[in-house]
Amino acid sequence: MPEALTTKSIAPLSSVVGTVVQPDEGAGKVLRKPSRAGIQTRLLFTTTLVLGSCLSLAGYILDRSFQASVVAGAEEQLKLVTYSLMGVVDFNGRRLSVSSDLPQPRLNQPESGLYASVLMREQIRGWRSPSALTTDVPFPEHVLAMEPGEFLFTEVDDTDTPFYYLSYAVSWGADDGAVLTFTVATEQKEFVRSIAVFRRNLWLGLGAVLLLFIGAQFLALRWGLTPLRQMAEEVRELEAGDREEFSQAYPPELSGLAQNLDQFVEHERRSRTRYRNALEDLAHSLKTPLAVVRNALNEANGSSTELLREQLSRMESTVHHQLSRASVRGPVIVGGTVELSTLIERLVRALRTAYVDRGIDVKVTVDGDLKLRGDEGDLMEIFGNLLENAFKYTKRRIEIGASRISGGVEIHVDDDGPGIPAYLRADVLNRGTRADEVQAGQGIGLSVVAELVQLYAGILAIEESPLGGARLRLVLK
């Protein structure tokens, strides 16, 4: 059997896991899901929000200021009309007369939008401009109570045609003290139109500025964050085994991080190699004395030799079990990918040779493009144990299938053997079993499989097979 697949590393089916082995808490902490919003998106959103708020506030202030200036300009225009109108008014104490040569031509034009009136407190007939004679302009009468020298500017919006009004009370003549009230009115539509045009141009301009800024900010962020994207891509290449170290083309802010990561990866690689070599040397050193002891026992006689042989077998199983556990690589940062179909075919070919006398029918349905990320030795250990248990306990038929799912790759191994009753599946695997308490043939191989599956943050479960035996279902990311 190739590499990791040996008879001693395979557990009997009576020790197969009957429960689901989920990723442990440590593995869950390593496999974090990336945040939905990246750094570029967050910065772009934040700057757009801040700039949009600032431009909106500035636009609102400018809009209100322009509107106030337009209204103030309307008031100034009405004041000029009032002053010019005072120059063509004549009052002799009994009769009010206004020259036909008005200072503003619009006052002579009907419905021109500019209207004027002169009112008196006494029962003397007032005056209206020719522009107001054919137009029902509602001149306010409460202005008669104004004190001389007082200006009153009002906006009336509750009519069909909104108006601006400016009223001015004048004490006319020093003798009788007659008070004339000049009221000039103008329609708001021209002023409102100018405010609307300014408002439209203002918001279009601010919107264009915002879009230009967003575009410039996007380009600047994309250029500025290029080293981070490059580092993320190189990390993915390191994980896939396509790269050994980071490149050197990083800005000063990231060069130290890249160097530290290179040192960490190299240290991790050396430590694992040294650890594995030390354990292999230890196992090799122990095997020779154990073999000598076994040979000596074979030459000896007596009832105690059987007990010693039993304990010696237990020691050999313990050495093998601990070596298998310690030499596990797991999903390290720098890993490679293994083609699943090639791995399965190698194992099946070896097992068919080992069990050639049983004539077992094996059906393999594995896509050629399915790959698993991890150490090849670990994957050989997992699938070697699972497949040999299926070969050992099947009657005549085994089916092996694999497919890609949303959580990774799902593999199932079905056989038509006796299977495992449902009430025993939860007790088949004892994760807390100590290595020095495990007897030969009591599930050493599958306990390593369970630990590997847990280390790889995968799922291992025993179910009922459609073939009538047991189904070992495995999900690896």
Residue ranges of the chain whose pLDDT lies below 50 = 1-19, 25-32, 431-443
Tokens 């943050």 belong to residue: 457
Predicted confidence at residue 60, as pLDDT, reads 93
Residue 95's alpha-carbon distances to 98, 100, 123, 125, 127, in angstroms, are 10, 16, 11, 8, 11
In a domain, 374, yes or no: yes
- Distance between CA atoms of 103 and 82, rounded to whole angstroms? 10
pTM of the model: 0.50
pLDDT of residue 13: 32
Q: Which of 17, 13, 24, 23 is nearest to 463 (CA)?
A: 17
Beta strands in 374-425 (DSSP E): 397-405, 408-415
Within a domain: 445: yes
Within a domain: residue 132?
Answer: no
Asked if the structure places residue 192 within a domain, the reply is: no
449 located within any domain: yes
369 lies in a domain? yes
In a domain, 120, yes or no: no
- How are strands ordered across the β-sheet holding 114-120? 127-128, 114-120, 178-187, 163-172, 151-156
Nearest to 449 by CA among 92, 117, 10: 10
Say how far apart CA 269 and CA 44 lie, in whole Å: 39
Helix (H) or strand (E) holding 117: strand 114-120
The number of folded domains in the chain is 1
Provide DSSP, 196-251. HHHHHHHHHHHHHHHHHHHHHHHHHHHHHTHHHHHHHHHHHHHHHTS-SS--S---
For residue 325, being part of any structural domain is answered with yes
Range of the domain at 22: 7-33+267-476
User: Residue 276: which CATH number?
Assistant: 3.30.565.10
pLDDT digits (tens, 9 = 90+) for 335-385: 567 888 889 998 998 888 888 888 889 999 888 788 887 778 788 888 888
Torsion of Cα atoms, 77 then 79 then 84 then 87, to 10°? 170
Specify whether the CB–CB gap between 360 and 469 falls below 8 A. no
**Quick one: pLDDT at residue 314?**
63
Taking a C-beta distance cutoff of 8 angstroms, is the pair 10, 449 a contact? no
What tokens were used for 244? Answer: 């050994």
Determine the Cα–Cα distance for residues 206 and 56; give it in Å rounded to an integer.
Answer: 8
Residue 116: helix, strand or coil by DSSP?
strand
